[in-house]
């Protein structure tokens, strides 16, 4: 009987939570002074410093890519047979069929961020730091007025020769913008701006990059994860909207304003639109989720941990009541909402049954898996374009695919580089964590 009691005590001792931070009182998880307790804190591998495009450089690359894509779409629509002896034109395109105000509208939408970043950098180079915020707000309002004035004037001129339904095509993304971001001006000019002017969240950024603090407080860890989750979702919202907006105005709008009697290859124009969207999507992904940012999410994941729900006979195992102020060790058994959970990860501050915490842990525990998927997507895009290029005979199609491939090569290089570095770093980190936990 005494031996059975000792075995039960040892089983309970192995399930002790190993750190408590909010107070010194005895909690449901037991005391921190129990025998054999060992605090294991995640160890982070130092990440190498990699070159990254500045906002101005990225916007310049994106502007060149989108304007080239728009030019190619107009080429698909208005190409001529200038090489034939009976041709009445000496140009490769029928420029007289293209509405110049439509060109002005599209270019204004595409260049807005490049002009904003350039002007802001110029102003910040001489303005004192304490006036940066009011200057940036004034700059956003001024640029908004200028951009809207140009778009309104171009839109008015377009309605003189086109129907009202064509004006709806031009303004449709505005409705999508209000649905996603509300009345916030920031996301219209800044790709890393959130949908709201939350100053508390903005102060948590350093040059647009959230930071990680190795805290031992469960409440602080969960707060940090919630902030990073919101920031990740805001960036993804911006990635999806910006890539859709660029593809819409460069690939779809030119087709909407094509003359009804104009004959063009609908399949090729649609294919070009798809390639623009995927290319913009991967370029925005690389810019909005740099490798250092992904490492910040990974480090927060190691502190957060995850709970695995146990079923069946496991419910009879000795366990503790989950407490939000307790940091649990790996393998700890807790009961929460009448369910039994097992701790996974060296440190566990997550809430049992919280699907948001579980998804965050699953995605960012090893970001190299996510990057591998992006490398596969970009590589598939490049191989598909190469395959189509090999079978293409029309001169304008060869030109179109060749120019798009240059931008996709650059994105593929950056994704492959980030994946290889992540894979090596996290593999070494996992070996250190296993050795530390085993010791």
pLDDT tens per residue across span 171-191: 899 999 999 998 888 899 998
* Residue 413: pLDDT over 50: yes
Q: For the whole model, what pTM was predicted? A: 0.85
pLDDT of the residue at 153: 95
Highest-scoring range by mean pLDDT, 102-116, 196-210, 418-432 = 102-116
382 or 94, greater pLDDT: 382
Q: What does the domain layout of the chain look like in residue ranges?
A: 1-21+305-360, 55-289
32-36, 158-162, 178-182: the lowest-pLDDT one:
32-36
* Residue 35: pLDDT over 50: no
Mean pLDDT of 377-401: 94
What is the 3 state secondary structure string of the chain?
A: CHHHHHHHHHHHHHCCCCEECCCCCCECCECCCCCCCCCCCCCCCCCCCCCCCCHHHHHHHHHHHHHHHHHHHHHHHHECCCCCCCCCCCCCECHHHCCHHHHHHHHHHHHHHHHHHHHHHHHHCCCCHHHHHHHHHHHHHHHHHHHHHHHHHHHHHHHCCCCHHHHHHHHHHHHHHHHHHCCCCHHHHCCCCCCCCCHHHHHCEECCEECCCCCCCHHHHHHHHHHHHHHHHHHHHHHHHHHHHHHHHHHHHHHHCCCCCCCCCHHHHHHHHHHHHHHHHHHHHHHHCCHHHHHHHHHHHHHHCEEEEECHHHHHCCCEECCCCEEECCCCEEEECCEEEEEECCCECCCCCCHHHHHHHHHHCCHHHHHHHHHHHHHHHHHHHHHHHHHCCCHHHHHHHHHHHHHHHHHHHHHHHHHHHHHHHHHHHHHHHHHHHHC
23-37, 157-171, 208-222: the lowest-pLDDT one:
23-37
* Residue 201: pLDDT over 60: no
d(CA 229, CA 362): 13
Confidence of residue 148 (pLDDT cuts 50, 70, 90): very high
pLDDT of the residue at 345: 81
The CA-CA-CA angle for residues 165, 264, 170, to 5°, reads: 25
Query: What token pair was written down for 385?
Result: 């374009």
pLDDT of the residue at 437: 61
pLDDT of the residue at 30: 37
**Phi, psi dihedrals of residue 88, rounded to the nearest 5°:** -95, 10
Distances (CA, A) of 123 to 116, 135, 138: 11, 8, 12
> pLDDT tens-digit profile of 300-341?
998 898 998 887 665 666 778 888 888 888 888 888 888 888
Rg (CA), the chain: 28
* Residue 27: pLDDT over 60: no
User: What order of strands is seen across the sheet that includes strand 320-321?
Assistant: 306-310, 339-344, 333-336, 320-321
pLDDT of the residue at 152: 94
pLDDT of the residue at 31: 36
């Amino acid at each position: 009987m005494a031996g059975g009691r000792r075995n039960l005590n040892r089983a309970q001792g192995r399930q002790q939570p190993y750190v408590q931070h909010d107070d010194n009182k005895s909690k449901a998880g037991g005391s921190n002074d129990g025998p054999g307790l060992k605090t294991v804190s995640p160890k982070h591998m130092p990440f190498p410093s990699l070159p990254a495009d500045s906002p101005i450089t990225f916007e310049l690359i994106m502007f060149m890519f989108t304007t080239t894509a728009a030019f190619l779409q107009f080429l698909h629509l208005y190409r001529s047979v200038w090489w034939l002896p009976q041709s009445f034109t000496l140009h490769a395109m029928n420029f007289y069929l293209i509405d110049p105000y439509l060109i002005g509208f599209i270019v204004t939408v595409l260049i807005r961020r490049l002009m904003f970043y350039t002007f802001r950098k110029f102003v910040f180079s001489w303005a004192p730091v304490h006036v940066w915020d009011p200057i940036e707000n004034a700059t956003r309002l001024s640029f908004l007025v200028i951009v809207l004035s140009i778009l309104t004037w171009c839109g008015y001129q377009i309605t003189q020769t086109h129907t009202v339904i064509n004006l709806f095509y031009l303004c449709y993304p505005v409705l999508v913008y209000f649905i996603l971001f509300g009345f916030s001006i920031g996301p219209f000019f800044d790709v890393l701006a959130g949908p709201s002017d939350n100053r508390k969240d903005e102060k948590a950024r350093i040059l647009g990059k959230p930071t990680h603090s190795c805290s031992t407080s469960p409440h602080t860890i969960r707060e940090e994860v919630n902030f990073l989750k919101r920031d990740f979702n805001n960036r993804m919202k911006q990635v999806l909207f910006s890539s859709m907006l660029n593809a819409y105005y460069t690939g779809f709008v030119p087709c909407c304003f094509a003359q009804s009697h104009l004959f063009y290859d609908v399949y090729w124009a649609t294919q070009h639109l798809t390639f623009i969207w995927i290319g913009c999507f991967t370029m925005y992904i690389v810019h909005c989720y740099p490798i250092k940012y992904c490492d910040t999410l990974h480090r927060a994941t190691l502190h957060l941990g995850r709970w695995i729900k146990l079923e069946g006979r496991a419910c009879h195992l000795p366990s503790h009541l989950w407490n939000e102020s307790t940091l649990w060790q790996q393998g700890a058994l807790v009961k929460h909402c009448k369910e039994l959970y097992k701790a996974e990860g060296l440190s566990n501050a997550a809430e049992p049954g919280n699907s948001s915490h579980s998804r965050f842990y699953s995605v960012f525990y090893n970001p190299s898996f996510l990057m591998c998927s992006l490398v596969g997507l970009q590589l598939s895009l490049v191989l598909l374009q190469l395959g189509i290029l090999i079978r293409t005979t029309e001169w304008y199609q060869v030109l179109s695919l060749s120019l798009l491939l240059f931008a996709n090569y650059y994105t593929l290089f950056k994704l492959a580089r980030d994946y290889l570095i992540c894979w090596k770093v996290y593999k070494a980190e996992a070996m250190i964590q296993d050795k530390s936990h085993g010791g």
